[in-house]
Amino acid sequence: MMLDMNPPNELLPIGSVVLLKESTKRVMILGFKQKQEHDEKIWDYSGCLYPEGILDPDRLFLFDQEQIDALFFVGFQDAEGMQFMMDLNSL
């Protein structure tokens, strides 16, 4: 079941499951504000295939908020995580 997206300027919590544009396989969000080793670009998210998980730690997906086409699950949220997300969203 697809869910409504958060406002486009708010990051989704870890554990959220999304479908990227032009993709047929869902991705689970694992981290935020990631940078590739040989590139200066900072990506909004890192993720792995869902439901498979991390098959190779050197092959995580890096993507930005605007690449998300559909939201299937919103990850765990508590007071600590919500404060972290508010701090991160203000960067």
The pLDDT value given to residue 4: 65
The pLDDT value given to residue 37: 78
- The dihedrals phi and psi of 82, each to the nearest 5 degrees, come to -65, -40
Token readout for 43 is: 């990506």
Close Cβ partners of 1 (under 8 Å, ≥ 6 residues apart): 72
Q: Which amino acid is present at 64? A: D
pLDDT (tens digit, 0 to 9) for every residue of the chain, 91 residues total?
666 665 556 789 999 999 999 999 999 999 998 888 788 899 999 999 999 999 888 888 999 999 999 999 999 989 998 898 888 877 7
With b for 16 or more beta-carbon neighbours within 10 A and e for fewer, the 55-78 pattern comes to: eeeeebbbbebebbeebebbeeee
- Structure pTM? 0.85
* In the block, residue with structure tokens 């701090």: 87
Hey, where are the domains in the chain?
A: 17-89
The pLDDT value given to residue 52: 94
